[in-house]
Chains A and B, each alone.
Chain A
């Protein structure tokens, strides 16, 4: 008993509020300290929902939670719930899962099951007879009611497909828009249970077309479900918008699908992951309607406010605590990772945005992480061009950077050079083995992959090679090439170059490739070097030599060559063995060019005037005595 009390005592925020409802719970929550990870109170959670979704959720929790006691709790409650209904199929499943662990009370109750089945048979016959009678009489309203009843019957018995079919059949017999709305809501309910969210979207739009029959509660319901469908479709921004538009009158009227706490959670997290700052403020923080929902889940409210006011450590801490429970949510669990990643990235980007230089130690403190892992994250963001900055790895400082057009132009020029790899990459998978008198599909993969690696820039490499489904079939035939391209993209240069080294001997024996192996390898190596140095303001050459598995002096020579060819904008501090990036100072170079152009023009014009003058005076040197 004590343990249980303590457990409920620790059960802060969500759970208690759910149980108590509104106001009295609220006051005490205002200055709550940040919670430590605790378990979901299953009873309180399940109390939010009714009907079939309650059972599904409980089963989901039982499946996903790692904790045996939680699992048994969930299964127990599911059993009780199912017994109240008529779904024998689900009953048998739950019994199998319980496996006798909960004692004899929760064992297979065949008597009950059989009784329910018999009753179901009788009811079904009765409904069929009634429906046939109505059909012969051609009374539209009764036929509609008949089909509806059938749909309800099948739904209660867990035959969702049949339920859906029957609900949809009522469409032909709907006379008023209210009927249509009713039909849509039923169809939506069944689709959600079946997990077919495309139907949900179509029926929501259908229902929204009959404006007059919609009261505010129905509108709220429709918005929620639309948001849910978008969430499943990973369209987080649109989903957030839908959830935020849900009116507060939703209240507890849609508990067979979604609880208001869920609206707040889903809406809040999706908004945080996808909205920019202005939208976050106007649509979430200043949104009076949504505020009612947020009151139900104060952590989400706190966490959004912390994000907006740049208290990233506490924001990320709230997120971390919520994570375990969110994984148990039936709709959200697939998306938790993605949403969290997006929120973290946005926090990082927002942190660095107003600064010209950021000390990575302070930033690591603010984000409660180590400097090296922070550096890796920032590196990934910079390489994907989400932050315009460069890292001074030596002093651990992040410097903001202007877009270097010149570099970008050089890279584009290099990539326009290699033509025939594009043709290879566009080869459909149907090439197969049909052209073996010229080329094998493995060759297509090898040639295409190597040329692409040597000449494409990062964006093109990703879109045309890594994400290219057709080409993937070819790459499967030569897994080293696939590995090596992935390594290159994810900056594991040592392993990438090792693969290349291994392949080299064989490639020199290929009749078409042997002339080009050296050049391609050189280009790939150069691109690797360039890509390595790209996000940094300063790079320690020892670390770089390790990453590339070469000695510092040979690395220095290679870098020198690249710098002289203007492929890297940097300079080497040979004393401390550090590579410093060099900004192209646009303003100064422009001034220099201007002055230079002026001088040249000056010179050219003067000499031209002189010559014109000479010609005009018919200046022509005849052969005369030498001086």
Chain B
């Protein structure tokens, strides 16, 4: 790693990691370092292969945060935005008593990825986020939250103006690339909205509605989206018309059934894990102590027919 040739370090690290883990669900100290190497070496794919495994056992907190953060960055590089979102979400909502830099950076990236992938961002934290995070994260990510606001207006020109204005800030966070992706995702979002309303639309009209410069650009965007599978459409070049089609997925194929079946299996396995964990927790002395403390004892309520666990 120190030799400034990260590429050479990737393969041995991978083997070491695999030998060190005693189950594929465990996170070791080596994980984040490995991911860092992959990032520097730009061999994202290898990194991805490690990320595929779900992690349930964690030893060191810092490892976990770094792991998720780097993992998120690798996924962004590979354009696997949903997995990136998951990992970054884990960082943001991880239990912490003190604010740390990793969480802040992760939060900024989380906002951007959520805009790209989902087209929206809700600035409310889920309940299980630590109070520290809830109070402080927003303060450090002001420009990003404003970016969210101008994104939601749906006007490209405003968005671009805002980006221009805050260029240095984004640059210093090394997030400029992501921000540019956010802007281009705006066009995509607008075109997708059009598919809901129109059956056929001319390229001129698309260019006007989405605020592109010309029909040619519109055509290129649409073409790109068709290839990426983000919309279903056909372009009629003679008339300059785009015809939007319905999602051809009929959910009747064997593959779809296999997909559903595997999802069911996976979810069943997860449920079992959940039940196990619940059992373990209820036997845990710490928990029992805390829950028991809140029960009133030797009260005339004790002779109530209502089980005491329902008394607050």
List the interface of chain A (C-beta within 8 A of B). 560, 563-564, 571-576, 580, 585, 587-588, 591, 594-595, 598-599, 601-603, 605-617, 619-624, 626-627
Q: Is the CB of A611 within 8 A of B95?
A: yes
In-complex Cβ contact of B198 among A572, A612, A619, A621 (8 A): A572
A residues less than 8 Å from B299 (CB atoms): none
Kindly list chain A residues whose C-beta atoms are within 8 Å of the C-beta of B7.
Answer: none
CB of B34 within 8 Å of the partner chain: no
The count of A-to-B residue pairs whose CB atoms sit within 8 angstroms is: 131
B197 touches A613 (CB 8 A): no
Taking a contact as CB atoms under 8 Å apart, the answer to whether A563 and B197 are in contact is yes
Do A598 and B264 have beta carbons less than 8 Å apart?
yes
**Whose C-beta in chain B lies nearest to the C-beta of A603?**
B86
With A611-B95, A611-B128 as known contacts, state yes or no: A580 contacts B58, CB within 8 Å: no
Instruction: For A575, give its contact among B58, B241, B259, B260 (CB under 8 Å).
Output: B241
Q: A572-B198, A602-B270, A626-B100 are in contact. List 4 more A-B contacts (CB 8 A).
A: A574-B201, A598-B260, A598-B263, A616-B281
Chain B: minimal CB distance from A462 (Å): 31
Q: Which of B62, B89, B100, B197 has the most CB atoms of chain A within a 10 A radius of its CB?
A: B197
B16 at the binding interface (Cβ < 8 Å): no
Q: Is B19 an interface residue (CB 8 A)?
A: no
State in angstroms the CA–CA spacing of A373 and B279 once bound together.
Answer: 72
Residue of A nearest to B87 (CB): A607
Does the CB pair B274–A608 fall under 8 Å? Answer: yes
Q: 8 closest Cβ contacts across the A-B interface?
A: A571-B199, A591-B251, A598-B263, A573-B200, A573-B199, A623-B98, A621-B96, A605-B270
Q: When A571-B197, A574-B201, A627-B101 are in contact, do A614 and B86 touch as well, CB less than 8 Å?
A: no
28 contacts between A and B (CB under 8 A): A560-B197, A563-B196, A564-B193, A573-B199, A574-B205, A575-B201, A575-B202, A588-B249, A588-B251, A598-B267, A605-B267, A605-B270, A609-B274, A611-B95, A611-B128, A612-B281, A613-B277, A614-B58, A614-B61, A614-B64, A615-B95, A616-B281, A617-B59, A619-B94, A620-B96, A621-B100, A622-B97, A626-B101
Q: How many positions in chain B have a CB within 8 Å of any CB in the partner chain?
A: 56
Q: Which residues 244-268 of B sit at the A interface, judged by CB distance below 8 A?
A: 244, 246-247, 249-251, 256, 259-260, 263-264, 266-267
A571-B244, A587-B251, A619-B61 known; A595+B95 contact, CB < 8 A? no
Of A594, A615, A621, most buried by chain B (CB within 10 Å of CB) is A621
Interface contact A607-B95, CB-CB below 8 Å: no
Instruction: List B contacts of A615 (CB < 8 A).
Output: 95
CB atoms of A576 and B101 under 8 A apart: no
In the bound complex, what is the Cα–Cα distance between A560 and B196 (angstroms)?
A: 9
Q: Does B273 contact A (CB under 8 A)?
A: yes
Bitwise, B271-309 to A at CB < 8 A (1) or not (0) is 101100100110010000000000000000000000000
Instruction: Report which B residues bind A (CB closer than 8 A).
Output: 54-59, 61-62, 64-66, 86, 89-90, 93-98, 100-102, 128, 193, 196-202, 205, 239, 241, 244, 246-247, 249-251, 256, 259-260, 263-264, 266-267, 270-271, 273-274, 277, 280-281, 284
A543 to chain B, nearest CB (A): 17
On whether the beta carbons of A575 and B93 are closer than 8 Å, the reply is no
Judging by beta carbons under 8 Å apart, are A574 and B200 in contact?
yes
> Nearest Cβ in chain B — how far from A164, in angstroms?
71
Could you say which residues of chain A place their CB within 8 Å of the CB of B281?
612, 616
B287 and chain A: residue at smallest CB distance = A616
Contacts of A605 in B (CB 8 A): 267, 270-271, 273-274
Q: How many angstroms between the C-alpha atoms of A614 and B62 in the bound complex?
A: 11
Q: Contact: A609 with B277, CB < 8 Å? A: yes
Structural contact, B89 and A607, CB atoms closer than 8 A: yes
Contact B270–A609 (Cβ < 8 Å) = yes
Residues of A within 8 A of B196 (CB): 563-564, 571
| Chain B residues closer than 8 Å to A612, beta-carbon distance | 277, 281
Closest beta carbon of chain B to A529's beta carbon, Å: 14
**Once bound together, how far apart are the Cα atoms of A585 and B277, in whole Å?**
40
Most B CB within 10 A of own CB, among A571, A588, A591, A601:
A571
Q: Contact partner of B199 among A560, A580, A614, CB < 8 A?
A: A580
Residues on A with C-beta less than 8 A from B247 are: 588
* Pair B58/A613 contact, Cβ less than 8 Å: yes
Q: Find out whether the CB atom of A575 lies under 8 angstroms from the CB atom of B197.
A: no
